[in-house]
């Protein structure tokens, strides 16, 4: 049994309780506690927040002509121009593609573990690592909107303020990151017969 904090491998004491790490006293468990249930809970909450995050505006721009609210996707479309397309692409990938890919990939991993699939454990573990690595980048749009709103305060000419969709979008980012942390990738290997696992 391996300690989640210091990685020392030790033999668990007899009995139901796995006890604590002999070196650093961290509670030990065969697998992260309720990994599948907790990952599903975070993932479903993220999927629910994903809807208002994309439908509600994230920024409101006020000019003497009136005010205008933009959703994430409208922001991507607005930025799309001969010179602005790289920015538009960054926001599209970070805000729309990464969160939806994360939700789909984690749901697939959870189903594969629950159904006990044995195929391609290596590539499923790699998929988990990619999700873990790219997840943080979906925060980009939260920072863009924060600093745009903080800086563009030119009343009465123009002012940009945050709108409700931003909070839902931030919740999606946090919930998907928590879902990734709750998932224990060792579960992927549990369905593989022992003789093949050590091959």
Partner 1 sequence: MADPSLIACPHCDLLQRLPALPAGGSARCPRCDRELARARPDAATRSLALSLAAACLFVVANAVPMLGLRAAGRDASTTVIGGAIHLWTHDERMVAALVLCTAVLAPGAQIALMLAVALGARAARPAAWVGALLRHQPAARTWSMIEVMLLGVLVALIKIADYANVIPGTALFVLAGLVFVLAAMQASFDARDVWARVVWADAAAEPAADLGPELAS
**Smallest separation, CB 149 to partner 1 (Å):** 6
Give 60: exposed, middle or buried? Use CB within 10 Å, 0-12, 13-18, 19+: middle
Contact between 85 and partner 1 per CB under 8 A: no
Nearest Cα neighbor of 95 from 59, 44, 41, 42 is 59
Contact between 153 and partner 1 per CB under 8 A: yes
Contact between 119 and partner 1 per CB under 8 A: no
Compare residues 22 and 108 and give the one whose CB is closer to partner 1: 22
Peptide bond into 160 cis (omega under 30): no
The two structure tokens encoding residue 50: 């994903």
**Smallest separation, CB 37 to partner 1 (Å):** 20
Largest distance between two CA atoms of the chain = 74
Instruction: Report d(CA 164, CA 73) in Å as an integer.
Output: 15
Which member of 68, 84, 120, 130 binds partner 1 (CB under 8 A)?
84
* Positions in the binding site for partner 1 (CB under 8 A): 1-2, 5-12, 22-26, 30, 79, 84, 87, 90-91, 121-122, 125-126, 128-129, 136-137, 139-154, 157-158, 161-162, 166-167, 170-171, 173-174, 177, 181, 185-186, 188-189, 197-198
């Amino acid at each position: 049994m391996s300690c989640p904090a210091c990685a020392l491998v030790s033999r668990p004491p007899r009995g139901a309780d796995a006890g604590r790490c002999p070196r650093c006293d961290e509670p030990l468990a065969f697998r992260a506690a309720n990994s599948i249930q907790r990952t599903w809970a975070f993932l479903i909450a993220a999927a629910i927040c994903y809807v208002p995050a994309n439908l509600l505006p994230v920024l409101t721009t006020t000019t003497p002509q009136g005010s205008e609210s933009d959703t994430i996707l409208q922001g991507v479309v607005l930025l799309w121009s001969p010179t602005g397309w790289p920015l538009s692409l960054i926001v599209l990938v970070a805000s729309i593609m990464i969160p939806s890919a994360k939700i789909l990939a984690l749901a697939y991993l959870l189903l594969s573990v629950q159904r006990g699939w044995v195929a391609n454990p290596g590539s499923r573990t790699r998929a988990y690592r990619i999700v873990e690595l790219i997840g943080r980048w979906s925060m980009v749009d939260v920072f863009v909107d924060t600093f745009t709103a903080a800086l563009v305060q030119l009343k009465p000419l123009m002012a940009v303020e945050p709108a409700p969709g931003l909070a839902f979008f931030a919740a999606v980012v946090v919930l998907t990151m928590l879902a990734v942390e709750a998932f224990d990738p060792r579960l992927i290997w549990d369905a593989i017969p022992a003789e093949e696992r050590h091959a």
